[in-house]
Chains A and B, each alone.
Chain A
């Protein structure tokens, strides 16, 4: 038809107003959308102004970065020389200078051993084998490397271990020992056998009800009384026992959460197939339950890592205590802020990365059981 000449041709859409898109739009929408919002923005900027410039000036602009004694430091700024001079102590404690390569080697072994666990290219089967190897063989190697006494390595007593090394040893041992113990306790708490259940509930509620510091006090003051005369535990071992028992109770509650989330049908199906209790738990229930609570487990690990700083109270020289010790050194008085900021940064790096990792894991595992 010839009416095509009056066909309706819509005018092209106008672009959105220039002040509602791009950077200006973003600012208007997110910072200045209402009078209250404007006030909040101003308040936040004022807070930032109060906090950021002094910190930057202290930590970077006015700071002293190199030197070898306290005279090198300008007053007013941070004295990172303090950290630089004590760095070895903060990392290794009183570990003899000539033997520190052993600590480095232990750490490298762990890093290279654990790295494939985080790679997508590695098959799951290999990962499981590697993980088991890390759990079973690595602690033995690490113990002999650190303690020495065989293969021609001189003995380094545990009282000489310190700094970040000791923190990582306590955290590592605590984690690997608390997880299996926690799983057993959780299974016991869900058990149908009343005696076992009562024992586990009592154990869990007892440790969860008292502060870790009293547990450490107990392990350092009361444990010697419990043992037959003449038998004495290493101070580090006593702390490890205390930390492990304490954390296993928390781990048990996390695992129990996972166990409760598994539908009863799974257990019944396993029973119908003729599986016994341990096979049902080990092959059917636990793999699903543990997968559900991985974030909770990592959170317990983070709490454990932060709690290792409490061993300072029973006189072990972990990172926290080494830093505290260095700040009371008469040659270096007045640098406690630098020391604590450094220690805080180290703890923060570990904890933040762990929590970041758990969030990522949670997202990856969110398939399947959640819509």
Chain B
């Protein structure tokens, strides 16, 4: 007699993985929604109690305060909507400049860290270990309150060739003033860029066909610099420099970098450069030494080896964490609020919030801006990653 295997006992429904999965998700969703509703309900009651009207109408009412640095026309009669744009542009300005400076400094230090020169490598290491381990806010305060407060008053300004002045009110630089003929110089520059692009294609095709290399770098530089310069001279030098002048108690004219911006920029780039330097170092070290040796044995010289073999592979490792640092720098620029640089957090989530009491709207807009920036950057990075990802057989 064949024994019947006992019919499999159906587990009780609370042990059924599918039932469990659905139950867990339903519970999680219900709890989240209930929590959200609870907060929403409380907020409604609190807002009514405090007499705050929610909504974005406040954006069109006049602000009544001045901002020390504006990239677009602004006056105290402008509305809060314009405050937002001024503040956003200030954030973007300091982030963009910070990214450029931090990248330059970071690459220099990162390469110095790998130098065969013992002294240079150790100096780079000390720089990294010092500034990486001190909070950014402390560094901003140090530059702003300890260093830039110690520079002289306007009458005793430190000057560089009577054109650049540094005093407690800021750094004053000559501002270019473009005369009517300057447009031609820009046209010449555009033509030069077009020529270089065409030249590069032509040289590539020729090298593919005949094997002869063309000194592309030298020719391009000559074109890019020479053509606009010649046109500049032909058009009668249509550019004047407006020098800052001491009038009364302060300098007038020229470009000015306010101390808040200078200290923020300095601290941001010095701090972020330490992280970038480590990223650059690890990226270069990640390229195996065999690659360099193979390239040298193929007869490429050391600069070609660096440009064609090492750098493309190192950049693949460097770029993703580098973008992360750019994102961090942009978010860290919000520390401007601590020293009064009018960025998004200081001017909009700070002053505007205090004046209007529209806490939820101001914070929500500010957070939305930062979220958008980080989403855009990570989208860009994903696109780049797909492009440079190793194509494997």
Report which A residues bind B (CB closer than 8 A): 30-31, 33, 37, 40-41, 43-45, 47-48, 192-196, 199, 206, 208-214, 217-218, 221-222, 224-229, 302, 306-310, 312-313, 320, 324, 327, 336-337, 340-341, 343-344, 347-348, 351-352, 355
Contact = CB atoms under 8 A, between A and B. Distances in A.
Given A229-B45, A229-B49, A31 B338 contact: no
Contacts of B26: 195
Given A213-B345, A351-B133, A343 B138 contact: yes
A209 B338 contact: no
A46 B63 CA distance: 52
B133 A355 contact: yes
Nearest to B354: A221
B334 A211 contact: yes
Contact of A225 (B32, B42, B367): B42
B92 to A, nearest CB: 14
Nearest to B143: A340
B138 A309 contact: yes
Contacts of B25: 193-196
Contacts of B46: 224-225, 229
Contacts of B212: none
SS class of chain B's interface: helix, strand, loop or mixed?
helix
B337 interface: yes
A91 B163 CA distance: 47
Contacts of A47: 123
B193 interface: no
B360 interface: yes
Interface in B351-376: 353, 359-360, 363, 366-367, 370-371, 374-375
Interface stretch (B76-84, B112-120, B151-159): B112-120
Contacts of B115: 40
Given A199-B28, A310-B335, A347-B133, 18 more contacts: A31-B118, A40-B115, A40-B117, A195-B29, A199-B29, A208-B374, A211-B332, A213-B334, A214-B334, A214-B366, A306-B133, A306-B135, A306-B136, A312-B137, A320-B141, A340-B141, A352-B129, A355-B133
Interface in B167-181: none
SS class of chain A's interface: helix, strand, loop or mixed?
helix
Contacts of A221: 353, 359, 363
9 contacts: A45-B119, A217-B363, A225-B47, A302-B133, A308-B135, A309-B135, A320-B141, A337-B147, A348-B130
Interface in B33-73: 39, 42-43, 45-47, 49
B145 interface: yes
B146 interface: yes
Given A41-B117, A211-B332, A225 B135 contact: no
Nearest to A349: B133
B142 interface: yes
B367 A214 contact: yes
A208 B330 CA distance: 13
Given A31-B119, A41-B119, A344 B374 contact: no
B316 interface: no
A227 B116 CA distance: 60
A213 B359 contact: no
A30 B345 contact: no
Contact of B363 (A44, A45, A214, A307): A214
Contacts of B317: none
Contacts of A210: 331, 367, 370-371
Nearest to B363: A218
B141 A337 contact: no
B371 A209 contact: yes
Q: Which 5 A-B pairs have the closest CB atoms?
A: A351-B133, A195-B25, A30-B118, A211-B331, A306-B135
B389 interface: no
A191 to B, nearest CB: 9
B390 interface: no
Interface residues of B, number: 56
A118 B71 CA distance: 55
B201 interface: no
A227 B149 CA distance: 43
A47 B122 CA distance: 13
A214 B349 contact: yes
B130 A211 contact: no
B24 interface: yes
Given A196-B25, A211-B331, A337 B146 contact: yes
A307 B331 CA distance: 13
A44 B119 contact: yes
A148 B135 CA distance: 31
Given A31-B118, A193-B25, A320-B138, A211 B345 contact: yes
B134 interface: yes
A347 B363 contact: no
Contacts of B145: 324, 327, 336, 340
A297 B334 CA distance: 25
B24 A193 contact: yes
A213 B337 contact: yes
B208 interface: no
A222 B337 contact: no
B19 interface: no
Contact of B349 (A33, A217, A227, A340): A217
**B45, B141, B149, B338 interface centre (most CB from chain A within 10 Å):** B141
Contacts of B334: 211, 213-214
A340 B138 contact: yes
Interface in B243-267: none
A45 B349 CA distance: 47
Interface string B16-29: 00000100111011
A241 to B, nearest CB: 14
Nearest to B115: A40
A47 B124 CA distance: 12
A41 B246 CA distance: 42
A313 B141 CA distance: 12
B134 to A, nearest CB: 5
B133 A352 contact: yes
B24 A196 contact: yes
Contacts of B116: 30, 33, 37
B138 A209 contact: no
A348 B363 contact: no
Contacts of A30: 116-119
B338 A313 contact: yes
Given A222-B359, A225-B42, A213 B335 contact: yes
